[in-house]
């Protein structure tokens, strides 16, 4: 049967080479080929069916996710997939499960914090999955406040052991993924006590990581350990495929050599030693790594929601303003729909490019760390924390907006959007609450501003070198066209960020106690951090455009996206630009007018731009976002695929409806 492409006319409007854009989106021809291969491997394997997921109760859902993870492991072995291929395989299976934490946090924690000897011992076991690990840092009473962790690790010199103990209810390890039911091992963060002395009351060597056996062979917990799942989470399927766990220790003994020993050691004699040349922040290194990974991946999550909403918007017709009866307007042709949808489409591309840059920065930092060069760690911390926060918040808000952009049908599970929202929303909390992370960025920015004159700002903060110019030279825009120039846009974002940072730094200086000042001004500081991070995203997009980008019309289409992203932010945050005095109201209104022009230039390319994400229908799992656009018959069919429609008479009908109809309620 011939397949009808209901979006063909839209596809024909494209003004650029979609295949070339696919390469740009993927990062390289090799990446495109790799992703395509893994996406199709998953899409064509019946084991990875996922449409029934939201209908399953927790125990069935969990078993189903274990089955998929086992099939995935089998594929990795049978096909000899590399770690990189296996990562993409997991990504396209699209179901959070214990391997994410095993590969994403447990192994990186050992790699980053273990001694050479420990790595040699534990990494092969982990990579072969002969042990399965998780990352147990958060406690019931302490999530953001890592310094407040209460779990203790007391050294017993006589037996050459650490005794791990949870002294209070609030010290219960709480939330670690993979911990509740599956893991055999954990990297546990605990407060170190040697010779009766708490180390690090003054800060920097408080917490150490331990790897130790959690379970016996038969998978029952070791004596002294209580373990379980934290309970059902938001959204039906969503993150409930993960066994986020709780864990308590009652004086559990582990050998001394299970303390991860790269950053510091405890000797056989009970002598505590820290490595002089390794900063203690390295124990936070796993979080830096995962925050970078989240930024690298988050654009795909947003692109998925945007793809669904764009395709549905380009199919569904509503009435025109002149006739409330005759449906003629495509939803995508409403200016108001465009002003909500197109900035999200532009954001997906912006986040992709900033994710690529962050990966480069992180790789560079990692190489430096291996050579004991820690000079770029503060910038890596601020950039990974800030961009994780900025991009996940915008993505989660964006998914919710896409749901609304699809009207009532967006609210149906079959649209794929509710589950995507539910699975993504904890990204604003895990790996660091987004506000807490922005406050870390603000600390970095304020520190950089305060040090002007005796320390050269580098990397993402190098704009602070030109503080004088940025504080005193106002925007030169005179026409709308002036707004579509890369250097002008970047300068506007630099001036806004610099002016806000300087104002906040001056306000902070008025406080006798800097910490009190930091606390009282924290809402303003978050805005400083947002301005700094938006500058990074905009400038990395502009830098991307300066590269050689092959393919007919590809660069031009990306330019439109870049300016949409930037001018949308200028419009959204015009208060910042006006209050800091950088823009006049006229210039702000020119930016908004130019934005509307850019929307009309983006419009013909909209479907091609989401096609360039190269998402399979399996990955999208959305009736309204299907590639062929054949929405209505499938939407209708999806309703009847719901087991609730198996019968006209639901359970309970005879029992609870008949008595109402028959007026026999009194018998109930
Ligand atoms: C939309 C969603 C889509 C997402 C898609 C993702 C798909 C991914 C797919 C596959 C990949 C798999 C990857 C894994 C899967 C991930 C699943 C999620 C699992 C979640 C796991 C967790 O949540 S683990 C627990 C995380 N916990 C936190 O993040 C806690 C947050 N708190 C902190 O980080 C810290 O406590 C703090 C930084 C907020 C404060 O610490 P502290 O009080 O000790 O520090 P100070 O403020 O005093 O700062 C001291 C000094 O240190 C510097 N610093 C702080 N942190 C770091 C760091 N990490 N690195 C380097 N330096 C650091 C700080 O700047 C200060 O420096 P000064 O120079 O002294 O000022
Ligand atoms: C799905 C999921 C998976 C997780 N997986 C893991 C895991 O594998 N391993 C692990 O160890 N942990 C894990 N966590 C825990 C996660 O890292 C924490 O939830 C996170 O660090 C936030 O801590 P919290 O929940 O205690 O929030 P809190 O720190 O209590 O924050 C609550 C509120 O207080 C605000 N707040 C807190 N501190 C400050 C401050 N200093 N200044 C201003 N505002 C502040 C926050 O902005 C937030 O609004 C997971 C969590 C979730 C939801």
Q: Single out the residue of 363, 353, 414 nearest to residue 387, CA to CA.
A: 353
195 φψ region: left (φ > 0), alpha (ψ -120 to 50), beta (else): left
C-beta pairs of 263-271 under 8 Å, 24+ apart in sequence? 263/113, 263/208, 264/205, 264/208, 265/115, 266/155, 266/192, 266/194, 268/157, 268/160, 269/157, 270/155, 270/157, 270/194, 270/195, 271/194
Instruction: Tell me the longest C-alpha to C-alpha distance in the chain.
Output: 88
pLDDT at 209: 57
- Non-local CB neighbours of 29 within 8 Å, separated by 6+ positions: 23
Question: What gap in Å lies between CA 580 and CA 498, rounded to an integer?
Answer: 10
113 or 87: which leads in pLDDT:
87
pLDDT at 202: 22
Residue 49 tokens read as 């069916």
Question: What gap in Å lies between CA 505 and CA 528, rounded to an integer?
Answer: 10
- Non-local CB neighbours of 71 within 8 Å, separated by 6+ positions: 45, 47, 48
478 pLDDT above the threshold of 80: yes
Dihedrals phi, psi of 249, to nearest 5 degrees: -115, 135
pLDDT band of 236, cuts 50, 70, 90? confident
User: Residue 215 carries which DSSP code?
Assistant: B
Q: How far is the CA of 432 from the centre of ligand 1 (A)?
A: 5
Whose atoms come closest to the Cα of 291: which ligand?
Answer: 1
pLDDT tens-place string over residues 138-159:
999 999 999 899 999 999 999 9
Strands 225-229 and 133-136: unpaired
Question: What gap in Å lies between CA 423 and CA 438, rounded to an integer?
Answer: 22
Whose atoms come closest to the Cα of 134: which ligand?
Answer: 2
205 pLDDT above the threshold of 70: no
376 pLDDT above the threshold of 80: yes
* Arithmetic mean of pLDDT over the chain: 93
pLDDT tens-place string over residues 43-93:
999 999 998 898 899 999 999 999 999 999 999 999 999 999 999 999 999
Binding residues for FAD, as ranges, are 138, 177
191 or 325: which leads in pLDDT:
191
Cβ 432 vs Cβ 385: under 8 Å = yes
pLDDT tens-place string over residues 166-199:
999 999 999 999 999 999 999 999 988 998 887 6
What are the angstrom distances between the C-alpha of 535 and each of 363, 433, 529, 541, 587?
Answer: 22, 21, 10, 10, 19
pLDDT band of 211, cuts 50, 70, 90? low
pLDDT at 83: 94
Cα 659 from chain centre? 51
Report whether residue 309 contacts ligand 2, using a CB cutoff of 6 Å: no
| Arithmetic mean of pLDDT, 559-579 | 98
Residue 542 tokens read as 């502009």
Binding residues, as ranges, are 138, 177
Report whether residue 245 contacts ligand 2, using a CB cutoff of 6 Å: no
pLDDT band of 260, cuts 50, 70, 90? confident
Percentage, residues of the chain above pLDDT 70: 95
- Non-local CB neighbours of 294 within 8 Å, separated by 6+ positions: 388, 391, 392, 427, 431
Strands 207-213 and 185-194: antiparallel
pLDDT band of 25, cuts 50, 70, 90? very high
pLDDT at 359: 97
pLDDT at 215: 64
pLDDT band of 204, cuts 50, 70, 90? very low
Cα 450 from chain centre? 31
pLDDT tens-place string over residues 422-446:
999 999 999 999 999 999 999 999 9
> Which of 105-109, 566-570, 591-595 bottoms out in mean pLDDT, i.e. has the lowest?
105-109
Q: How far is the CA of 437 from the centre of ligand 1 (A)?
A: 7
Residues touching ligand 1 (Cβ under 6 Å) are: 91, 100, 104-105, 135, 137-138, 144, 146-147, 177, 281, 284, 287-288, 290, 293-294, 297-298, 301, 377-378, 381, 392, 395-396, 424, 427, 430-432, 436, 440, 443, 447
Q: How far is the CA of 285 from the centre of ligand 1 (A)?
A: 8
Element containing residue 213 per DSSP (H, E): strand 207-213
What burial letters (b/e) apply to 378-412, b meaning 16+ CB within 10 Å?
A: bbbbbbbbbbbbbbbbbbbbbbbbbbebbeebbeb
| Arithmetic mean of pLDDT, 646-667 | 94
Among the atoms of ligand 2, which is closest to the Cα of residue 142?
26
Report whether residue 389 contacts ligand 2, using a CB cutoff of 6 Å: no
Q: How far is the CA of 443 from the centre of ligand 2 (A)?
A: 19
pLDDT tens-place string over residues 331-354:
999 999 999 999 999 999 999 999
What burial letters (b/e) apply to 474-508, b meaning 16+ CB within 10 Å?
A: ebebeebeebbebeebbbbbbbbbbbbbbebbeeb
Q: Single out the residue of 295, 299, 278, 236 nearest to residue 58, CA to CA.
A: 236
Question: What gap in Å lies between CA 643 and CA 6, rounded to an integer?
Answer: 29
Cβ 38 vs Cβ 44: under 8 Å = no
Report whether residue 208 contacts ligand 2, using a CB cutoff of 6 Å: no
Whose atoms come closest to the Cα of 230: which ligand?
Answer: 2
Among the atoms of ligand 1, which is closest to the Cα of residue 204?
44
Residue 190 tokens read as 């605990």
Strands 185-194 and 133-136: parallel
Record the pTM. Answer: 0.96
**Taking CA 459 as the corner, what is the angle to CA 455 and CA 462, rounded to the nearest 5 degrees?**
60
pLDDT at 206: 36
| Arithmetic mean of pLDDT, 226-236 | 93
> Which of 23-27, 203-207, 336-340 bottoms out in mean pLDDT, i.e. has the lowest?
203-207
Supply the residues annotated as catalytic: 431
Place of tokens 């650029």: 16
pLDDT at 197: 83
Q: Single out the residue of 132, 149, 131 nearest to residue 140, CA to CA.
A: 149
Report whether residue 177 contacts ligand 2, using a CB cutoff of 6 Å: yes
pLDDT tens-place string over residues 483-519:
999 999 999 999 999 999 999 999 999 999 999 999 9
Report whether residue 436 contacts ligand 2, using a CB cutoff of 6 Å: yes
């Amino acid at each position: 049967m011939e397949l009808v492409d209901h979006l063909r006319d839209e596809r024909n409007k494209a003004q650029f080479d979609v295949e070339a854009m696919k390469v740009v989106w993927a990062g390289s021809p090799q990446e495109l080929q790799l992703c395509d291969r893994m996406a199709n491997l998953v899409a064509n394997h019946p084991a990875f069916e996922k449409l029934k997921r939201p209908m399953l109760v927790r125990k069935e859902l969990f078993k189903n996710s274990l089955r998929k993870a086992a099939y995935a492991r089998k594929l990795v072995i049978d096909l000899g997939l590399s770690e990189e291929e296996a990562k993409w395989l997991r990504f396209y299976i699209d179901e959070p499960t214990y391997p994410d934490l095993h590969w994403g946090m447990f192994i990186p924690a050992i790699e980053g914090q273990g001694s050479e000897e420990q790595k040699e011992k534990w990494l092969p076991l982990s990579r072969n999955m002969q042990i399965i690990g998780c990352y147990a840092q958060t406690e019931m009473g302490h999530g953001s406040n890592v310094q407040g962790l209460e779990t203790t690790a007391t050294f017993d010199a006589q037996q050459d052991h650490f005794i791990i103990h949870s002294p209070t209810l609030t010290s219960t390890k709480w939330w670690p993924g993979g911990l509740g039911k599956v893991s055999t091992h954990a990297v546990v963060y605990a407060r170190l006590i040697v010779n009766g002395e708490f180390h690090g009351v003054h800060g920097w060597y408080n917490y150490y990581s331990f790897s130790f056996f959690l379970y016996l062979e038969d998978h029952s917990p070791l004596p002294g350990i209580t373990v379980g799942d934290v309970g059902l989470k938001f959204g039906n399927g969503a993150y409930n495929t993960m066994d986020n766990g709780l864990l308590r220790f009652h004086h559990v003994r582990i050998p001394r050599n299970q303390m991860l020993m790269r950053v510091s050691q405890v000797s056989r004699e009970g002598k505590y030693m820290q490595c002089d040349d390794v900063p203690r922040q390295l124990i936070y290194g796993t979080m830096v790594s995962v925050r970078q990974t989240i930024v690298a991946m988050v654009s795909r999550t947003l692109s998925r929601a945007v793809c669904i909403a764009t395709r549905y918007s380009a199919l569904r017709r509503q009435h025109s303003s002149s006739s409330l009866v005759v449906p003629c307007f495509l939803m995508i042709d409403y200016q108001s729909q465009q002003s909500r949808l197109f900035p999200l489409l532009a954001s997906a591309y912006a986040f992709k490019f900033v994710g690529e840059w962050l990966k480069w920065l992180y790789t560079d930092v990692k190489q430096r760390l291996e050579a004991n060069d820690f000079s770029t760690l503060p910038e890596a911390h601020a950039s990974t924390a800030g961009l994780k926060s900025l991009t996940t918040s915008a993505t989660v808000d964006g998914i919710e907006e896409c749901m609304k952009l699809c009207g009532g049908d967006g609210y149906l599970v079959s649209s794929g959007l509710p589950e995507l929202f539910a699975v993504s929303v904890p990204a604003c909390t895990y790996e660091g609450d987004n506000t807490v992370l922005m406050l870390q960025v603000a600390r970095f920015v304020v520190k950089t501003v305060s040090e002007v004159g005796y320390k050269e700002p580098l990397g993402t903060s190098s704009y602070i070198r030109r503080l004088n110019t940025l504080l005193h030279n106002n925007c030169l825009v005179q026409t709308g066209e002036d707004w579509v120039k890369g250097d002008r846009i970047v300068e506007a974002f630099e001036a806004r960020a610099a002016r806000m940072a300087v104002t906040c730094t001056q306000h902070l200086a008025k406080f006798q106690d800097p910490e009190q000042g930091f606390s009282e001004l924290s809402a303003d500081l978050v805005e400083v951090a947002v301005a700094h991070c938006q500058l990074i995203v905009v400038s990395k997009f502009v830098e991307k455009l300066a590269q050689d980008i092959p393919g007919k019309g590809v660069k031009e289409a990306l330019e439109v996206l870049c300016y949409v992203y930037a001018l949308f932010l200028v419009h959204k945050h015009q208060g910042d630009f006006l209050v800091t005095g950088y823009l006049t109201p006229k210039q702000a209104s020119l930016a908004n007018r130019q934005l509307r022009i850019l929307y009309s230039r983006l419009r013909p390319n909209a479907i091609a731009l989401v096609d360039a994400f190269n998402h399979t229908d399996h990955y999208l799992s959305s009736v309204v976002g299907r590639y062929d656009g054949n929405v209505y018959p499938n939407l209708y069919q999806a309703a009847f695929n719901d087991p609730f429609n198996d019968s006209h008479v639901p359970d309970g009908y005879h029992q609870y409806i008949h008595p109402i109809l028959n007026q026999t309620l009194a018998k109930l």
